[in-house]
Each structure stands twice: as C-alpha cells, then as structure tokens.
C-alpha cells in the first residue's frame, strides 16, 4: 500500500477525546502523527496535506516541550510543509533544513529497483527530473509496470518502440484538451530554406525561436540518434506538412538522408503523432513550455469594422519546395 492518508490509522476517537477539557491528548496526537510522517518511506500529496492541516493547527496549542520535540523530529525532513515550519518558527523553534542528498542517487536507484514499493508523487517527480539525464535510471523507471504511461512522457526519448507507442497514445488521449496555438506563419518556409541551404545552426535557431524552445533544447536527447526524433516532434508541433518534413530529412543531414530506413522511421513518427501530442511530448521531455500564447498582441476580429479588408487574393504563404540539385561525381 502506498504511504498515504488512507494508510493512517483512524484517530477520530482520540480527536474526540482531545475536545474533553479534562483531558489533553493533543500533544500525544501531534507526536504520533509526527513520528508516522517522518517514518513514511513515501509521502504523497494527500499525506502531506493531512499532516499539514493537523500539525499546523495543533502546534500553537501544545506545551513548549512537545513543540520542541516535534521540531527536532522534523529536522531534515525533505517534505516538511511550509505551514508547519511557520507554526514552529512562530514559537521560536527552528527546524533543520533538509539533509544534503549525498547519497540521494543511490537511494533513488534502490527505490526504483524495488518493485514492492510504490513511488509517491513527489519522489516520482524527482526521479523523472534526474532520469532525463541518466539513461540507466530512465530504463529502470520505464520497466516498472506500476507507473502510468502518461507519467513517463519525460522519458520518451529513452524508451523503446513499444514504450514510446504506449506513452504517445496516453499523451494523445488528453493533448487535445489544451489549446494548441498556431505556429508562426513563416516558420515552415524558413525551415525549408535553411535546410536547403544546409544552414544547420540557422535551422535549429529558427525552430527553437518559432516554438519558444530553450536554447539548448537538443541537449535533452540522450544520444545523437534520438536528436532527430526530438526534431521530428518539433517539426510536427510546428505544423509542417509531411512533404516539408520529408524534404528536411533529405537535405539537412547527409547521414540521415543516405539511410532509407532512418528516413522512413522519421516519416512514420511524423505521420503517426498528432500535433497537440507532439507539443505535449516536447513539454514533458524539455520540462519547459512550448508554443505558449504570448498575449502581447491585441486580437482583432477579421470581420471587425476597423479591420482593413484585403483587396486582392493573398498569395500562398508557403512557396513550393526548392528542387534538389542532382549531384554529379
């Protein structure tokens, strides 16, 4: 059973007794709950909230000795709620900060390799953040059957084909619930032009700027092969047409262009991933927002009375793909 408020014994009887003016069980309840909170191997959101509500309410009412004992027991606890810390500080009691995690990596690895222990929410968030740059830890987490596929989205680049498919399907199921803003209108044309000119640095900069990606977004890929998988998700999120994406696969990098299997796998990934799902996968992999609305521009309805109407037909925003020059030996 996970460490949760549901696993805590029913103390309603003690709480009722604590309301008896002839008895004062509040110190006992506070010490027992503190011991259970500190000893819990995993603390999920429900357990943390329950302890915060109880301890923050009892600390101002207990005697000085009990409050001091509680402060000592909570010293070094990484999940100590701020309301509990503030209640102790209001009584002049400092709580030691979380202990330095010198062996946190070993503890996390032991936790992930133990199938008999369910990983709490906060622990999972910490593990996923570390696993982005730790392939061994990522593969251990991906092998656990108790973690939902959607929660493993940050590790998509580390996953094998079946795991990627399961993660993508889980993300696709909810991706459409969040609006997906349009990419800049000239982005597709710019990317095609930069790829045709073999301007790799300019291509990466334009793609990153167009989607609002971090400057070092390619560093999220664990190896060179997965960089193109990440780029394919970005091209899909940028709303390129399939033909434009194929042109980029064939012109940006000679090593990729010479491999029919590699180009085919990238085209398949592009074709099978929805645009909103690609956006959400990028958000999870990079741990950063992608294609967020800027909110700086004023919205003007196209049919508003103050809107200037175009007099001539608007030319196509995407020119035809440049022809590839045949290479001669």
- pTM for the predicted model, two decimal places: 0.63
Express the helix, strand and coil content of the chain in percent, nearest 5 each.
Answer: 60, 0, 40
Per-residue pLDDT at 90: 93
- Summarize pLDDT for 3-32 with one digit per residue, the tens: 444 444 455 555 555 556 656 788 999 999
Q: Which of the listed ranges 167-171, 219-223, 313-317 does the model predict with the highest average pLDDT? A: 167-171
Q: Which of the listed ranges 49-63, 101-115, 230-244 does the model predict with the highest average pLDDT? A: 230-244
* Greatest CA separation for the chain: 100
Q: What angle do CA 117, 121, 122 make, to 5 degrees?
A: 105
Q: For residue 84, what pLDDT band results from cuts at 50, 70 and 90? A: very high
Q: What is the DSSP string of 296-324?
A: -SPP--TTSTTSPPPSSPPPPSSPPPPPP
Cα–Cα separations (whole angstroms), residue 274 to 160, 175, 217, 260, 268: 19, 9, 21, 23, 12
Q: For residue 280, what pLDDT band results from cuts at 50, 70 and 90? A: very high
Per-residue pLDDT at 294: 42
Looking at every residue in the chain, the average pLDDT score rounds to: 84
**Has residue 178 got a pLDDT over 80?**
yes
Instruction: Compute the distance between CA of residue 236 and CA of residue 110 in angstroms, rounded to an integer.
Output: 38
Contact 191, 244 (CB under 8 A): yes
Does residue 21 sit in helix, strand or coil? coil
Q: For residue 234, what pLDDT band results from cuts at 50, 70 and 90? A: very high
Instruction: Compute the distance between CA of residue 319 and CA of residue 329 in angstroms, rounded to an integer.
Output: 30
The proportion of the chain whose per-residue pLDDT surpasses 90, expressed as a percent, equals 56
């Amino acid at each position: 059973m996970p460490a949760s408020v549901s696993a805590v014994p029913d103390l309603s009887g003690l709480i009722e007794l604590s309301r008896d003016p002839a008895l004062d069980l509040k110190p006992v309840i506070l010490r027992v709950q503190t011991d259970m909170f500190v000893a819990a191997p995993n603390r999920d959101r429900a357990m943390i909230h329950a302890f915060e509500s109880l301890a923050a309410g009892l600390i101002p009412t207990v005697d000085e000795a009990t409050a001091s004992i509680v402060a000592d027991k909570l010293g070094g606890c990484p999940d100590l709620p701020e309301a509990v810390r503030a209640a102790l500080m209001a009584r002049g009691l400092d709580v030691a900060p979380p202990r330095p995690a010198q062996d946190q990596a070993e503890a996390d690895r032991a936790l992930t390799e133990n199938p008999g222990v369910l990983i709490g929410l906060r622990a999972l968030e910490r593990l996923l953040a570390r696993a982005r740059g730790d392939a061994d830890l990522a593969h251990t987490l991906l092998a656990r059957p108790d973690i939902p596929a959607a929660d493993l989205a940050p590790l998509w680049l580390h996953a094998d084909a079946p795991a990627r498919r399961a993660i993508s399907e889980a993300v696709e199921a909810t991706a459409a619930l969040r609006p997906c803003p349009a990419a800049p209108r000239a982005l597709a044309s710019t990317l095609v032009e930069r790829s045709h000119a073999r301007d790799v640095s300019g291509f990466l900069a334009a793609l990153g700027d167009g989607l609002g990606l971090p400057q070092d977004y390619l560093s999220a890929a664990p190896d060179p092969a997965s960089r193109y998988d990440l780029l394919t998700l970005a091209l899909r999120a940028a709303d390129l047409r399939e033909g434009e994406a194929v042109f980029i696969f064939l012109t940006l990098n000679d090593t990729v262009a010479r491999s029919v299997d590699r180009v085919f796998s990238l085209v398949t990934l592009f074709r099978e991933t929805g645009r909103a799902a690609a956006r959400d996968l990028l958000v999870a992999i990079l741990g950063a927002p992608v294609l967020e609305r800027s909110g700086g521009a004023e919205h003007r309805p196209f049919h508003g009375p103050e809107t200037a109407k175009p007099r001539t037909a608007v030319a196509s925003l995407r020119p035809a793909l440049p022809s590839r020059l045949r290479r001669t030996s």
